[in-house]
Structure 1
Amino acid sequence: MVTTTSNLSTECRTFEVRPNRSLSREGMIVFFLVVAALTLLVTVRFLLLGAWLILPFALLEIAVLGVSLYLFERASRYSETIQIAPDSILITTRSGVDILREYRLQPYWVNIALQRDPHHWYPSKLLLRSHGECIEIGACLTNADRKTLANTITNALESCRKTTH
């Protein structure tokens, strides 16, 4: 998912790239609690029938579901911010509020490449190249979204180059 904002006074465009998430954190908590309650309800019924061996497996199932939902939620906090200004391009990769990487490039020298797999087995890669550096952006996007982002960034860079001349 890509969101775009523009600031006309500073001639800056900002692109926010995030993975698609259909379930919020609160939704995950509700889902976990409902599944855990139903699992425990069935487990209590079997315990009353004398099948005590079900309890450890039910607790293990709840624990695995909780850990997997936590890891999924943590991975879905990933985002990339691409700020294009007339004097620089700033690419910030975040996981939640923690900044993982930050790159600063000169917009005049940036080349945008959309590399496609020749066999169509793997998704394409959107690369920003400048002075020997190659930075992949939009890895969490679909191929169509990646192509649209490449065109949008190319247009933003061309308009920045025109304003500096």
Structure 2
Amino acid sequence: MLLDLTLRPNRSFDRRHARWLIAAVGGLFFLGGLRFLALGAWPILPFMLADVLLLLWAFHSNYLSGGGHEHLALGGDDLTLTQVSPLGAVRVTRLEPYFTRVAVEETPLGDAHLFLESRGRRLAVGYFLSAPERRDVGAVIAAALSRYRAGGALPASV
């Protein structure tokens, strides 16, 4: 196999640390809420609770969206792109390696978009990656495709 690449979204915080952060913020808000309650400013308490719940929802949404991934495999006579959505829906696309080109489009703001183009089809790859990562992944895919074209299909014994 010339290329076996799995792309996953980056997450800066693991779940354990997110729980610790939410517990710490909740604890601080609880102590602050007791102070406001003692001062007679009880209407602030629902807003503090809403803040903690919104933080919890934001982390939950972040980790839910990070459940998707993409897998690229180049072997035999096809390039297979398997895209798994965060909700688990799977889409498999097979492309012919001889006709597939890698396109990295630069935007005026310095971002980069990565596409696989083949016979009029255009597939976005790695939309969840940063621009430098997309450029690097594009170079890896292009190198694998050029190795495939130079050497042809791999023998069955490899």
TM-score range, shorter chain: 0.7 to 0.9
Q: Secondary structure at the match of 2:25?
A: helix
Q: Secondary structure at the match of 1:53?
A: helix
Distance in 2 (alpha carbons) for counterparts of 1:20 and 1:122: 20
Equivalent residues, number: 153
Q: Is the 8 A contact 1:128 1:134 kept in 2?
A: yes
Identity of aligned pairs, percent? 28
Q: Give the aligned residue type for 1:143.
A: A
For residues 118-162 of structure 1, what are the alpha-carbon distances to aligned partners after superposition, in whole Å with 9 as ceiling and x for unaligned?
xx1262211101121100112222222222211111111122231
Residue 90 (structure 1) shift: 1.4
Q: Secondary structure at the match of 1:98?
A: coil
Stretches (4+) displaced over 6 A: none
> Which residue of structure 1 lines up, in the alignment, with residue 43 of structure 2?
53
RMSD after superposition: 1.9
- The two structures have a TM-score, normalised by structure 1, of 0.83
Higher relative contact order (CA 8 A, sep 6+): 2
Whether 1:135 aligns to 2:92 is no
> Which residue of structure 2 lines up, in the alignment, with residue 98 of structure 1?
88
Q: Is the 8 A contact 1:12 1:86 kept in 2?
A: no
Q: Secondary structure at the match of 1:50?
A: coil
**Counterpart mapping for 1:1-165 below 5 A:** 11-96=1-86, 98-117=88-107, 120-121=108-109, 123-161=111-149, 162-164=151-153
Q: Give the aligned residue type for 2:54.
A: V
Q: Secondary structure at the match of 1:41?
A: helix
Residue 78 (structure 1) shift: 2.7
- The two structures have a TM-score, normalised by structure 2, of 0.86
Gapped regions of structure 2 (runs ≥ 5): none
Gapped regions of structure 1 (runs ≥ 5): 1-10
Structure 1 range deviating more: 27-36 or 140-149: 140-149
